[in-house]
Amino acid sequence: MPAFSFEKISPPVRRAPAATTPKKPRGVISQMIDRFAERRARRALQAERTPVRRDDKPAE
């Protein structure tokens, strides 16, 4: 007869994930990169909108 026996332990009950988990604030470097990218995108859009000036006029 064994001197001890093992007790069967059931796995822990899974809880539903929290509805809203607070996100970590973004780092300063990430914010700076976002600002630069946004400005660059705005400049690219403005460049597309403005007509290209041509100094060359057809000779008459």
Q: Which residues of the chain have pLDDT under 50?
A: none
Q: Which residues of 8-43 are buried (b: 16+ CB within 10 A; e: fewer)?
A: eeeeeeeeeeeeeeeeeeeeeeeeeeeeeeeeeeee
Contacts of 15 (CB under 8 A, 6+ apart): none
Whole-angstrom Cα distance, residue 34 to residue 41?
A: 10
Residue 55: predicted pLDDT: 66
For the entire predicted model, the pTM comes to 0.40
